[in-house]
Amino acid sequence: MTDAILVEGLQKSFGSNTALAGVDLTVPEGSVLGLLGPNGAGKTTVVRILTTLLQPDGGRAEVAGIDVVNEPDRVRSLIGLTGQYAAVDEYLTGFENLEMVGRLYRLGKRDARTRATELLERFDLTGAADRPAKTYSGGMRRRLDIAASLIARPRVLFLDEPTTGLDPRSRLGMWEFIADLAGGGTTILLTTQYLEEADRLADRMVVIDRGRVIARGTADELKAQVGGQRLEFTVTDAAVLPAMVARLRPLAVDEPHVDEQARRLSIPVSGGAEVLADALRRLDGQTAAVFDVGLRRPDLDDVFLALTGHATEESPGADGVPAEPVPTGGVR
């Protein structure tokens, strides 16, 4: 498999602010790469350089084997970009927007119209085709925006935070469209702050923070970096934690972690559901203060926290302080 995107030692500064401090990544043709990172990590800068909107200060960037700095025009005819805003003209109808972009991609008049009609159909916008985009909902605008970036059948598609600001239902719908595109063989570079999104859509991931790549691999590989599964208890009274640790220590494969403030106990374990049953047996009925118990596999939030020392922002899966536990009964 050849690489549809190749980035080597990419650097970019804005004044004294270093946005990219040497980023390397490759995206094999036909695959989806999730570029993850918090706000300001440099995700958008990577996308802007690859889509010829920004000049890098150093390093190399190629799309479909073409250097983005030396031959930007050739790159532009092979790519589609959906930016963070739905970049559609709100006074044009959906159809007119797509036709215009098609014409600017150098499609002939008839071709542009046919493509516009096809894409409106595919993105469930046929009913709104002749309405100005101003009247569209946020989800519809995003769909129109993606449709616009697909009009010339790009070999490589850049989606910069395609679901930021969408309500959960629109987000799910968008995920289906993107998964569908990926299934059709389009190479996609997707940036996101939502780990769930990357987990669901991307074949491989690159995590960047402060302009550097801090991890890469498949979702499973990244999770393995953080460790295996854990038993997690949340209790109503932190005072019971030491006794619980003492009883459960034999199950631990690594040092248990106690968070008194969150009233939480996390014990690295190995094995399946029987570990959970075993743990409950070991507590021997002393479970009145236990508010919640579970066997957890790490998710990408854990990966992120472990890698960067800080959680992602705006991540729907990241729960800071747990909700106030409601006592389920009392031993005291």
Partner 1 sequence: MSSLSTALSDSVVITKRNLIKVRRVPDLIVFATLSPIMFVVLFRYVFGGAIGGLPPGISYAEFLLPGIFAQTVVFGSTITGASIADDLQKGLIDRFRSLPMSRSAVLVGRTVADAGLNVVSIAVMALTGLLVGWRIRSSFGEALGGFLVLLAFAYAVSWLMAMVGLLVRTPEVVQNASFIVIFPLTFVANTFVPLETFPSALRVFAEWNPVSAVTLASRELFGNVPPGYPVPDAWSLQNPVLYTLIWTAVILAVFVPLSVRLYQRTATR
Kindly report the number of other CB atoms within 10 A of residue 271's CB atom. 13
Write the binding mask 57 to 76 for partner 1: x where contact by CB under 8 A, - elsewhere.
----------------x--x
Interaction between residue 129 and partner 1 (CB under 8 A): no
Measured from the Cβ of residue 210, the count of other Cβ atoms closer than 10 Å reads: 15
* Binding flag, residue 21, partner 1 (CB under 8 A): no
If one asks whether residue 103 binds partner 1 (CB under 8 A), the answer comes out as yes
Which token pair is 14? 């804005």
Residues 6+ apart with CB under 8 A from 22: 9, 10, 11, 58, 59, 211, 212
Which region among 48-56, 219-227, 258-266, 284-292 touches partner 1 (by CB under 8 A)? Answer: 48-56
Kindly state the tokens that stand for 279.
Answer: 């743990």
**Shortest separation between residue 186's beta carbon and partner 1, angstroms:** 16
User: What would the DSSP string read from start to end of 59-113?
Assistant: EEEEETTEETTT-HHHHHTTEEEE-SS----TTSBHHHHHHHHHHHTT--HHHHH
User: Near partner 1 by CB under 8 A, which window of 104-112, 175-183, 223-231, 239-247?
Assistant: 104-112
Round to whole Å and give the CA distance between 139 and 124: 11
| Residue 95 makes contact with partner 1 by CB under 8 A | no
Size of the site for partner 1 (CB under 8 A): 29
Binding mask 133-172 for partner 1 (x = CB under 8 A): ---------------x------------------------
Burial of 263 (0-12, 13-18, 19+ CB in 10 A): buried
| From 12, 35, 38, 48, residue interacting with partner 1 (rule: CB under 8 A) | 48
Q: Applying CB under 8 A, does 106 fall inside the site for partner 1?
A: yes
C-beta separation of 60 from 9 below 8 A: yes
53 binding partner 1? (CB under 8 A): yes
How far apart CA 147 and CA 116 sit, in angstroms, is 8
Closest alpha carbon to 28 in 148, 154, 155, 153: 155
The answer to the question of residue 104 lying near partner 1 (CB under 8 A) is yes
CB of 292 to partner 1, least distance (A): 43
Binding segment for partner 1 among 30-38, 97-105, 230-238, 290-298 (CB under 8 A)?
97-105
Give per-residue burial for 70-89: e unless 16+ CB within 10 Å, then b. Answer: eeeeebbebbbbbbeebebe
Using the rule CB under 8 A, which residue among 24, 29, 57, 96 binds partner 1?
96
The residue (of 149 and 308) whose beta carbon lies closer to partner 1 is 149
Residues lying near partner 1 in the complex (CB under 8 A)? 48, 51-54, 73, 76-77, 79, 81, 83-92, 96, 100-101, 103-106, 132, 148
